[in-house]
Structure 1
Amino acid sequence: MSSPAPVRVLLVEDDELMRRSFTVALERYGYAMTAAADGLTGLELFRDGGFDLLVLDVMLPGLDGIGLCRRVRETSLVPVLMMSARGDGLDVVAGLEAGADDYVVKPVDTYVLVARIRSLLRRATYAPVPAPGAAPADVPGPAEGERLVFGDLAVDTGGMEVFVAGEPVALTPTELKLLLEFAAHPGIVLERHTLLRNVWEYGWDGDSRVVDLCVQRLRRKLGRDRIETVRGFGYKLRR
């Protein structure tokens, strides 16, 4: 019986020492690494296809990590992890708004980087979704109880598909898992730290901006009134 193919990771990092260090460290964990030193080269490599996850530095020559993430999101829902040297800077917000699923702050320990990568890959396995514009997967219709309906929003928990007014909506694995968390608790306020634990798998109180910006992206795709903000507490899906 053949062993499964290794996970293919594209790392785009302009610092040569960090690029080599991360590549060697992640290869030791069994990942098949491809590395690029600038955004345009990273974009070319990405377009060659076949990557399971992208790790992008924010500050890159030519095309920065935020611009690269936007270009990736034009055609793909592949998980994206951003690396920022400024944990409280605007680049973190910009990266998440561009479609990144999560971020880490440099300098970052290898075990933290691996933990964030594993969490992203679990989400992608848990919630497989097609690329934007792709035809829905040919899966059997949902069994009774597997289609959750909230007005004209329908969530097929068996086929992992989302529809608004009958039209399919492409969500990243993180966006889909967040929506499934809301759909499992309609009308109930979910606190940010609960969402960080259940969706992002943070074992500690992480940066709530990750939640806030992912909710914003969901609202743009599903309708701004779907998810209600309960100030001082968190969010809830309208029944």
Structure 2
Amino acid sequence: MTYPDEARSAHLQPEVPHAARIWNHWMGGTDNFAADRAAGDAVAQVYPEIVDMARESRRFLIRVVQHLTAEAGIRQFLDIGTGLPTMQNTHEVAQALAPESRIVYVDADPMVLAHAQSLPAGTATTYVQADYHSPQTILDEAAKILDFSKPVAVMYMGVMGYEPDLDVVRSLVGHTMAATVPGSALVLWDGTNTTPAVVEGAKRLAEMGGVPYILRSPDELASVFAGLTMVEPGLEQITRWRAEEPNPERIDAYGAVARKV
């Protein structure tokens, strides 16, 4: 792989497994290092379904963005903790339906930021290098391209499991959503703890030196949407959320879309 010089900073740490790059490996991408592949493969040995979860999460994203663009009329997306691009990314899905859509991607990984240089000029799409724990920084930077006087879809796709404190999760989401106007949407999915294999896989990842991932119950995830109005079918397995042909395999990950009214 080759990357811009700024991606080769001391912060890159290719010898340390990183969540965005492990996820990229599971998605079939190439933007990862040996340490990421080793950590990801170790988890997949314990929980082979993780690869399906990664790929089903992208199908969930596609359906969500299609719904928000075509049915809800939203033209602005703030994708926090986006990870490395693979296929059918948020801007590609939204702009295929509404070319005027504006997208801000946020991630702390310098490799993710490096990919911003490959975006065609004039796509109304940008990357912000920031941690999801810094909502005000994210909002300030996003406001350079997004108009917060109009509805925005705020997306946390498989991100909040990296924060161990559920109260902090609620606070971070609440801070960000407070900056949006009625008509905006919150999109969130995360891995859940309803099957032992998933719990064991998350434990194995932590033991390999990866970033610990907290699996929560569906009820705990639902609490993050407090004060918002769920879009049908509410909190659901990501394979089933508005899927024309739901994957019959059980994927221990739940997600939802909720509107601010």
Pairwise TM-score range, normalised by the shorter structure:
0.3 to 0.5
TM-score (norm 2): 0.32
Task: Give the structure with the higher percent strand.
Answer: 1
**Higher RCO (CA-CA < 8 Å; seq separation 6+):** 2
